[in-house]
Structure 1
């Protein structure tokens, strides 16, 4: 069965519930689909770069909705779980996500807190489309990397 790699911005409590077996319902993810690739001039062989772009959008989206620690799950989805929107951000609707599909976690560097609080202030009430090209927002976000963690490290990432 074919899988679709994607990135799911998720509030920390929802990640804990998912890990503990709760059904998360409909989620928004970001995947390196055809529309994202076309919007960014990426071809079929540019998988790594397209993945980084999708991760970046997921990381930015995580700052729109939640004031807690920023968390993005890297997941491998079954094709039947995915409904792509076809927008330039790779936005994808996901149903039935299971913790076993999580391949990695991404969280913020501890020293990023002040800049990310400023980003949250700048993006309040705005959509991803409205902030994706905002130089002030992008400049602050790009100062910090999302750090990679194994799924087993969820509690450490959120501590």
Structure 2
């Protein structure tokens, strides 16, 4: 259950009412959605640039940010808000709840070690002196692609 920031069932009902009444919401909501989508795309593009230039620590940070913002974008599409957290487990829980599908949580559980690695790469690249190598970042990028593909298949929303 989403705690503190919104009541999903009420917001989903509100969205359904607006759609059935022909209302599209206000420009702020549209711009928030587009901002999240655009920023996710920009981080993904920069991750690939950083990888190509051998800036592996920055690539790690950028990949995680891209995944995080894409998930927030998908949540926002259904709920008109998104959780103000950086934890992927919480974001996947919210995503599964908003879209009312257990398959999202099952995907997260099946890949929990990889998700933890992605989160750790983000934190480590920002706050610790560890240096990532090309192979580590290649694996992180491939995992992010797997996440985007899974979400596209399940939610019919293509990343980039």
Structures share a fold, TM > 0.5?
no
Of Structure 1 and Structure 2, which has the larger fraction of its residues in helix? 2
| TM-score normalized by the length of structure 2 | 0.31
Q: Which structure carries more relative contact order (alpha carbon 8 Å, separation 6+)?
A: 1
Larger gyration radius, structure 1 or structure 2 = 2
| TM-score normalized by the length of structure 1 | 0.31
